Structure 1
Amino acid sequence: MTNNKKIKVGILGASGYTGSDLVRLLINHPNVDIKLLTAERKAGQTMADIFPHFIGHDLPILNKIGEIDWATVEVDVIFCALPHATSQEIIKGIFEQTSGKKQIKVIDLSADFRLRDPDTYKRWYGNDHTAIALQPRAIYGLTEYYRESVKSADLVACPGCYPTAILLALKPLLKQDLIKSEDIIIDAKSGVTGAGRSLRESNLFTEVSEAMNPYGVGHHRHMPEIEQELSVSAESAVTMSFTPHLVPMNRGELITAYVKLEENKTIEDLRKGLAVTCDKEHFMTLLKEDQMPATRMVRGSNNFVVNVYKDRIKGRAIVIAAIDNLVKGSSGQAIQNMNVMMGLDEECGLKQVALFP
């Protein structure tokens, strides 16, 4: 389906990495006009002042969120690229101020509406959810699996970057009863942009260069989100082991999952199962048998690549997948959801070929 209408878009938190990548991708989206940009500490500046790669592009001046009257602002879709716990308050205010006046669709890139259970959110994020009434209407934005629900949604919670890569790799295998739901072990690696743009000592060049380190060992906040969605496909509770690592590159994400085969299933069965899903999706690719997924294959694109290999331990398999954490793992996936919500071609504005070298 194609549509020539122009969608008026606002981006909250445009001075962060995910916010700026939303701007980068949406500038050339044929159906979008960027009408509103916010950044609290950078208010009054232009995007080109902060990010020189936007020089020459006519973009709105950055505003503070508190200065916006949501009842009168001319936007159709809001992308919320704000920190966890901040998003829920802002989004609640948007819906309260526009109730009965206009319909604004909100796409949230934080974790605030990803977890369906408020108690789970409090346990992992350390604070009460202040917009519980909105939780039932929030659709989990893994487009490939919730596409029909996303179409009619006015609030979409985009998955985290690690969950996106892991779920696209493993949900097809669990759903088709090709792998067991227990004893799933996931080793994951992400570029430094996954930690956000805030100034912190651990993200300084000399701290991350020529090094790799694990973090969030045994208690990373993406764990309940991953388990929530794997459990949906497995139709039973899933608990898995997950360890993320920070690697010295700007963007990119690679996950390696160690799984048990179901009885009488083979690597060839797993490849066929992945092919069933990948062949019908816009951005998912099952690589040739001798190809290894690598972050360079997807850098700057909304693509996901995956492959599966036989483990030397009998009855086990190794599933490896790669995405760009800022695109398919965040901003690109958010735009993919916007396209579905607004009746556009799902690929619209997202056909960028990966950057190489």
Structure 2
Amino acid sequence: MDPQLVAVVAVILAAMVFDYTNGFHDAANAIATSVSTRALTPRVALLMAAVGNFVGAHLGTEVAKTVGEDLVSLPLGIPSLGVVFAGVLGAITWNLITWYFGLPSSSSHALFGGLVGATLMASFGEVQWGNIVNKVLIPMVFSPVVGLILGFLFMIAIMWAFRRGHPGKLNRGFRLAQTFSAAAMAVGHGIQDAAKTMGIVVLALYTGGYQSSATHIPQWVYWASATMLALGTYAGGWRIIRTLGRKIIDLGPAEGFAAETVASSVLYFNALVLHAPISTTHTITSAIMGVGATKRLSAVRWNVAGNIVIAWVTTFPAAALIACLIYLVVRPLF
């Protein structure tokens, strides 16, 4: 068999495994608040999230192009495929570590860190630092801040608008509304996260010489990436779901609706307007913190939030370091 084809297939399979781990690692992003407020049963929520991810994957073309051509520049050939392979394995490893400890870290930043780390370790290729700063690091800082502020303001607006409402009726209404806000969050997750896997597959096809463009996305790549993300989501990452749903703050239906609405809006704006591959995990977690802070600042369990922020900050460099080590191991195979 052609060694170049074997290398391309190896990278694509690794990308699909990453996509699956991304799904069960980030299932909490779409459903944790809906499950914790009992707006949806766990399996119904997971099924809805899987369908939403599948739909959203077909809308994330621009994010996929950013991942495929704007982060690292690699020459064509088998050695470059080894770099991409190591980068993806680094992201998978970090995903599994943070899942084990129940920390909602960013699969996206794990992937970007893995790619950067493996590229730096190789004696060829170039990290496009300008794009890394503008399209990864700046959104990494600002999207949680925006999610926190908008979550706080939107929840204040809801509290004022429904200040004379009957609590029982309001809870029932917001539980119903959460069905739609959770669905919007699931589609947003698909737009952002399935697109990142698609970008890796396209990068492998281009680097391996199987297509002439680093931006063209074959139809089968949409379907494969969407399917693996949906399957991973349906498997459910219960450790992280518990962290987001209960450990940060005890959410009611109104708070859950507010957090999901704000987070999905931020995801759509960044993906469809700015074409920035932001973290769904950072966005929903910060929105939950902002919403919770409207009760009182002490209502947010800041020690848990602090552990999450530490995971956010360490994800990029940790995944990069792991990818460096993996590259040293796999380099002789490519």
TM above 0.5, one fold?
A: no
Question: Taking CA–CA contacts closer than 8 Å with sequence separation of 6 or more, which of the two structures ends up with the larger relative contact order?
Answer: 2
TM score, norm. by length of structure 1:
0.24
The structure richer in strand per residue is 1
TM score, norm. by length of structure 2:
0.25
